């Protein structure tokens, strides 16, 4: 039996920090900017796609806006920057898997979140693929 999936890519600029970063990468404790790239894969049952690429991209985009939102540019205060904030890439991927499970009911979901297309974390819904 062949398994099928579709994959889409979304991206955005965001900020995050690793407050408990080890000493040798202590610079990560400060807020810093990344170009985040999210690759999302869902299972499909047939070759006519039960969910269209653009529909999946829209769902991911809505998740990004609902979860992280846009902060007002005049709201810069201590420990706070304007723009989208993320925890770790793993946290973002985990939350998106949960969101898409509810939104789509798919039996395979895989989400990868990368920083600047260099470092990437991936979460795959267990028991599938």
Whether residue 57 is predicted with pLDDT greater than 50 in this model: the reply is yes
The full set of domain ranges for the chain reads 4-124
Task: Read off the pLDDT of residues 73-120 as tens digits, 9 standing for 90 and up.
Answer: 444 444 455 556 667 899 889 999 999 988 888 878 899 999 999 999
Question: Which residues, 6+ apart, have CB-to-CB distance to 119 below 8 Å?
Answer: 89
Fold designation for 4-124: Tetrahydropterin Synthase; Chain A (3.30.479)
> Confidence class of residue 129 from pLDDT cuts 50, 70 and 90?
very low
Contact (Cβ atoms closer than 8 angstroms) between residue 21 and residue 99: no
pLDDT of residue 126: 65
Calpha distance 64→95 (Å, rounded): 10
């Amino acid at each position: 039996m062949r398994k099928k999936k579709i994959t889409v890519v979304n991206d955005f600029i965001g900020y995050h920090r690793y407050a408990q970063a080890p000493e040798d990468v202590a610079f990560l404790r400060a807020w810093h900017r990344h170009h985040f790239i999210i690759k999302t894969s869902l299972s499909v049952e047939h070759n006519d796609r039960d969910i269209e690429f653009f529909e999946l991209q829209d769902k991911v985009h809505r998740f990004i806006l609902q979860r992280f939102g846009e902060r007002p540019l005049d709201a810069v205060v201590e420990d706070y920057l304007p723009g989208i904030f993320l925890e770790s890439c793993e946290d973002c991927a985990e939350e998106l898997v949960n969101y898409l499970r509810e939104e789509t009911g798919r039996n395979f979901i895989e989400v990868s979140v990368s920083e600047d297309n260099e470092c990437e974390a991936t979460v795959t819904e267990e028991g599938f693929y």
